[in-house]
Structure 1
Amino acid sequence: MKKVLVIAGPTAVGKTALSVELAKKLNGEIISGDSMQVYKQLDIGTAKATEQERAGIPHYLIDCRELSETYSVADFQKEGRQAIEAIHTKGKLPIVVGGTGLYIQALLYDFELGSKDESSEIRQTYETFAEEHGNQRLWTLLEEKDPKAAASIHFNNRKKVIRALEVFDKTGHSILAPKETPKQLYDYFLIGLETERALLYDRINTRVDAMLQEGLLKEAELLYQLQPEQSVQGIGYKEFFPYFAGDESLEAAVAQVKQNSRRYAKRQLTWFKNRMQASWWDLVQHPETLPVLEQRITEWLASSKG
């Protein structure tokens, strides 16, 4: 299996600096694993590495979408794997860096994303049937085909009943049938960065203040004016909309950005600790442990798996 180094963890914990430092030492190139850094014109609020911070290291999946475009986990999965192949072809080490856990997991494992058990035609057929005959008759159809699923879904939950029928008709299996465990596609080493919670929150607050100095409000106002469907949802942008509308003070909006960013950081940590095996390091309080981490990476690179 091809080697992939991954650096994950919450916002404001030092992922960018570490990734560039390791890329220099390990002949690596960097793939952004962040769902918002793909958007052009959103530089400050998404904490993109500046040209100076990138230090000449090639970065992938940054500035590859217009604000009006959508970007899905399936898009990232496909383009991220293409980037891994391109970097390996050069004889270099791919380094995936980011805090969007689902994106990173979908990249490293053979997750089936969408379509396999979905059919709009089947769904529409059952929607029409339900309109004509009612929820009880629809549920009775499910009970005949998949009694196990019918027993767990209330007859008035039309959406779930139709979804269960759709899966059964498309695959021949109950929606409750256990799914196969996704297969690991790469020999990856996952570095999880963390630090003491109070210190992390303080760093997040300080970062938000710095972003405001750098021009965060201009980016937020651009999104407020354009209102694109997906990119508008990013933390650090939507919180300013009540301020632009004249419904809230700037101080209140900034406080909301900080609070939402802290909550997101907590969710990021929980996600990585519960879903993926990582080697956890606190380089904020213990920078002296970096040589030990580098030694672990060197040992991993020298090992074989597959």
Structure 2
Amino acid sequence: MSGTLNPRQLAALRQAAEWLCQLNSGEAQASDHAAWQRWHDAAPDNAWAWLQAERLQNRVASTTHPSTARVLNLTAENRRSSRRRVIKAGAVLLGVTALGTVSYPQTSRLGWLADYRSGVGEQRRLRLQNGTTVHLNTDTALDVEETGGQPRLFLRQGEIMVDVPEQQQCQVQTRHGLIDAQHCRFSVRLFDSGARLDVHAGQARATLPSGQSLTLSQAQGCRFDDQRFGAIEALASGSDAWDKGLIIANGQRLGHFIAELSRYRPGWLRCAPEVAQLSLSGTFRLDDTEQVLRAVTSALPVRLERRTRYWVTVVGA
């Protein structure tokens, strides 16, 4: 097996880690075992991930390495540990010990190890000790460190909106650079190949690993990676609408709109090329993506082609 796992395998490993911890907790019921069997049989990736879990158990049973034994004891001996701590231990073992294909630094950035996370289509709000509020958008993973009165956030995946009150400051660390802000409202979004900083009020500074920095003011945004900054752009009206549970299209290409909407629902949602250039306008609620799709089919000459509940394509009517 190669050293790079695809997203389905990573998701299956996370789920296998959860099942490993649950079934070995000493509290699993017959219904839990039945639910595990349904999950195991639902997809080849699930069966593969569980095989890694079984290999892990066999390997650990014969190992005497103290650090490995200490982590396993979280499930066997320390039943009072929080569920999140136990799942984190199982995930580390699956990602590092069982597979040997993902290094610890890489595994430590994966979403399931984060202090806070939101599922697909879920949003969460946090209030930090200095009054800073953090809004996690869909499918987001975040670590929080609060020392010395200045919170430091580690964005592992997804997108956050940060609102820093007067006379306070906050830092957001990503794998592409560090963002510093005082009395500012800003959002940070991670992509596969970079990140984006949007400033909605005040000013924020992004600094790359090389030391190169860029300060953005209100209504400005910029995409960057660990090597360079892109062009500074003026923010479009409604670019922060997700913070209010909305998605706004102002003459937007349908293909782009559907790509954004797909972030908020599980499965596969895409737009066929022949209708991707259609223009869409409107304000829609993110908590009901099915209603949004119905509104799109009413407004434009398109229909939904469904292969399964989780595989939907917007095509010409």
Q: TM-score range by the shorter chain?
A: under 0.3
Which structure has more helix as a fraction of its residues? Answer: 1
| TM-score, length basis structure 2 | 0.26
**TM-score, scaled relative to structure 1:** 0.26
Larger Rg: 1
Q: Which of 1 and 2 has higher RCO (CA within 8 Å, sep 6+)?
A: 1
